[in-house]
A = this chain, B = another copy of it.
Amino acid sequence: MKKPDLGTIVGLILAFGLILIGNHLEGGHLSSVIQPTAALIVFGGTLGATMVGFPLDEFVRALKTVSLFFFTKAQDPAKVLEEIVRYAQIARREGIIALEEHVQKAQDPFFKKAFLMVVDGIDSKTIEQTLELEIHHAEEKGEIPAKVFEAAGGYCPTVGILGAVLGLIHVMSNLSDINAVGSGIAVAFVATIYGVGAANIVCLPAANKVKMKNKAEMQLYEMIMLGAIAIQQGENPKLIEQKLAVFAHGSGGHGKKGHAEAKKAA
């Protein structure tokens, strides 16, 4: 289920809101920073440069991940761990074949693929190789949208400067009227603001967020892989839980409970 990503939404509102309020308090007019031609130059140039830099399908895929930026679809690792432990218990009590009906109902395609291989009786080395290859590819694929945003965030400020210099060239051709010069320079500077702002408040943070969400998903996949292999090898459900707990809760703080459980299991 998708949940709105509060960090992104609140962050964008805070950043743009406070900057505009600050500008207003300093006596600046909102109208003086709204300039369609500067936007055309900066965003058009950045868009074009980014399209040049990436294969078209990757570029389109990156645009589609904009939703990833506003929504969180990541599964709760603690719940996935619970599911793995439940599978381990079923496999212990009723045999690995008994997992098949549960696996068929699984939502996540990676989870399903991993446990179908277990149910199919494929050996653990082949499972590990296949799933590691899959994780490796998913990780690289998931990084590309982050790289698209990063590249856009790199081109943006320099295209902003390009826009500003274009404006300044226009201004410089006629230096006699000092007030015209002033407002001309003001207009030129807006391109810089668009470039710097889009890079530092949108593109680079977006790249970072996509990267972090991708990393979290890969850790989930790694937990599923380790869990599937452990179940295939008939490991004790309690020990599986203790070993994978770090993926679900982070380190530390679970010593006591883990101890009691591991003791019963040993």
Contacts and interface: CB of A to CB of B under 8 A. Distances in A.
A192 B40 CA distance: 20
A252 B116 CA distance: 13
A49 B171 CA distance: 33
Nearest to A175: B182
- The secondary structure that dominates the A interface is helix
A2 to B, nearest CB: 15
B51 A196 contact: no
A53 interface: yes
Interface in A109-128: 109-110, 112-113, 116-117, 120-122, 126
Contacts of A256: 112
Interface residues of A, number: 125
A194 B253 CA distance: 40
This chain: how many copies in the complex? 5
Given A15-B47, A182-B172, A253-B109, A166 B200 contact: no
A197 interface: yes
A256 B57 CA distance: 25
Interface string A226-251: 00000000000001001100110011
A12 B52 contact: yes
Contacts of A26: 37-38, 166-167, 170, 187
Contact of A44 (B14, B176, B212): B14
Nearest to A174: B182
A35 B94 CA distance: 71
